[in-house]
Amino acid sequence: MTSGTPQVREIPLTGGTSGPYGITTGPDGALWLTFVHSGRIGRLTTDGALTTYALDPADCQPMIITPGPDQALWFTRAHDHRIGRITTGGTVDTYAPPDGSGPYGITAGPDGALWFTQMHTDRIGRIGLDGTVTQFGLPVEKAFPSMISTGPDGALWFTLNQANAVGRMTIEGEVTVHPLPTPAAGPVGIASDGEALWFVEIMAGQVGRISVDGVVEEFPLPDRAARPHAIAAVAAGDCWFTEWGANRIGHLTADGRIEEFDLPSPSSEPHGLALGPDGALWTALETGAVARWETTT
């Protein structure tokens, strides 16, 4: 995927109070979304057909969703402190970690399990496909671990939003914390491009890159108040990210250029984004829609 002005199409999904939030591509060639305010999981085909599945309770706040190694989708439920699993046919199961941990980010790990952040307890959790949960403590307090991604080195990488750092954890639970150069940057989204990890700093208005040996580079956005939230790496050095506070998506090219593109509707609150099965970029808009970006390839 290379630089170019993307063609955007906004697709209304539900009422404005439903809150599309997380989005990912499923193993069935569809997009899967969380609806944070209405407690539903959605399946969206690339031609815009939506099916939703209700969760119990409706205020469980599903947040981030990711494909698992078992051909199902796994997601976090921040309000009732659970991990959810949904098959491509719509069958839902839930699993409860031992305490009120506030799970948020989740990713498929290199070991055949799912790994998730626990915002409230300064831990990283591991859940096996049988529902067994193991928790690993972090060496920092009130760090607010947020998003998590499997890195190219076979470790788990995650943002520590309130500790101003990026963390690395081996599958055995060994932790390394890498402080960020910019104070109070507030890192949130993180993604691997196959060579390094890319993350966004919501408070500093920057995109960051961290190598597997912990070297950090930061790229200031033209609008430092844009509040970047989620990031997706589509190739080495080629990243797209949402600008939640500026109603835009941004693109960081492999040669270090930053491009920004406005969303069609004002104040649409872009959150998650994912490369779709059709090669387009899809963005979840909390006001009740998705945006599909046809980028040049």
Q: How confident is the model at residue 297 (pLDDT cuts 50, 70, 90)?
A: very low
Q: Is 229 annotated as a binding residue?
A: yes
- Supply the pTM of this predicted model: 0.96
For the CA atoms of 255, 258, 259, 263, what is the dihedral angle to 10 degrees?
A: 140
The answer to whether residue 1 is domain-embedded is: no
* Tens-place pLDDT, residues 212-266: 999 999 999 999 999 999 999 999 999 999 999 999 999 998 888 999 999 999 9
Residue 218 annotated as binding? no
Q: How many domains does the chain have?
A: 1
d(CA 259, CA 239): 11
Query: The tokens of 1 are what?
Result: 């995927």
Which of 102, 88, 110 lies closest to 143, judged by CA?
A: 102
Domain assignment present for residue 26? The answer is: yes
Is residue 106 domain-resident?
A: yes
- Alpha carbons 284 and 86: distance in angstroms, whole number: 19
Mean pLDDT across the stretch 264-272?
A: 95
Residue 271 known to be catalytic: yes
The structure tokens 């690395």 sit at: 168
Give the largest Cα separation in the chain, rounded: 47
247 Cβ contact partners less than 8 Å away, ≥ 6 residues apart: 262, 263, 266, 267, 268, 269, 270
Contacts of 91 (CB under 8 A, 6+ apart): none
With respect to residue 2, please indicate whether it lies within any of the assigned structural domains.
no
Tell me whether residue 286 is annotated as binding.
yes
Give the C-alpha separation, 175 to 48, whole Å: 42
User: In whole angstroms, what is the distance from residue 153 CA to residue 13 CA?
Assistant: 38
Question: 37, 81, 251, 271: which one is catalytic?
Answer: 271
Q: What order of strands is seen across the sheet that includes strand 197-201? A: 187-192, 197-201, 206-210, 216-220
Task: Supply the CATH number for residue 217's domain.
Answer: 2.130.10.10
Kindly report, residue by residue over 155-193, the tens digit of the pLDDT: 999 999 999 999 999 999 999 999 999 999 999 999 999
Alpha-carbon radius of gyration of the chain: 17
Residue 224 lies in a domain: yes
CB atoms within 10 A of CB 288: 21
The yes-or-no verdict on residue 140 having pLDDT over 60 is yes
Residue 261, classed as helix, strand or coil, is strand
Unique residue bearing structure tokens 């150069």:
181
Residue 6's pLDDT band, with cuts at 50, 70 and 90, is confident
